[in-house]
């Protein structure tokens, strides 16, 4: 084998010193750790994604909390006040007290909307049917 001089050290062929072996081992170890840090489980991109999901879930939880508080206040209001029950029955269920007359006003917001054809009071019998005689 040829003997070569690197710096002041005498080496023969591919023989590595302990320092070089440790340097190579540490380099490989640091590359492996950095790869895991950026690509593996628990990596920075995964943590950032989880933080985004956490923020979104917190926002959804706040919305649900507001909704729950609104529903809770409605339940308390209904349980304490009969007028609230009656108001809710009138507005949401269309209920009417006995003896009242219900009038529904339909506003004509769109003047270009076609009006339905009037229904004749005595419709002609359909083809193939017998007229009703009493």
Residue 81 lies in a domain: yes
- pTM higher than the cut 0.75: no
Q: Is the pLDDT of residue 1 over 60?
A: no
Q: Is the pLDDT of residue 65 over 70?
A: yes
Separation between Cα atoms, residue 65 and residue 59, nearest integer Å: 10
Task: State how far the alpha carbon of 90 is from the alpha carbons of 5, 6, 71, 107, 129, in Å.
Answer: 101, 98, 19, 20, 44
Residue 60 lies in a domain: yes
Residues 49 and 87 in one domain: yes
Range of the domain at 33: 1-40
Provide the pLDDT for residue 50. 94
Residues 32 and 51 in one domain: no
Residue 125 lies in a domain: no
Residue 113 lies in a domain: no
Mean pLDDT value of segment 90-110:
83
Residues 2 and 32 in one domain: yes
């Amino acid at each position: 084998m040829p003997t070569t001089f690197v710096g002041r050290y005498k080496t023969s062929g591919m023989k590595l010193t302990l320092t070089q072996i440790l340097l190579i081992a540490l380099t490989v170890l640091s590359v492996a750790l950095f790869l895991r840090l950026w690509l593996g489980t628990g990596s920075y991109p995964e943590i950032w994604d989880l933080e985004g999901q956490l923020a979104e879930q917190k926002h959804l939880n706040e919305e649900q909390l507001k909704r729950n508080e609104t529903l809770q206040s409605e339940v308390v209001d209904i349980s304490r006040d009969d007028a609230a029950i009656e108001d809710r029955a009138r507005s949401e269920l269309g209920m009417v007290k006995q003896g009242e007359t219900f009038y529904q006003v339909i506003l004509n917001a769109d003047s270009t909307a076609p009006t339905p054809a009037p229904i004749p009071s005595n419709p002609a019998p359909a083809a193939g049917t017998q007229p009703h005689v009493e």
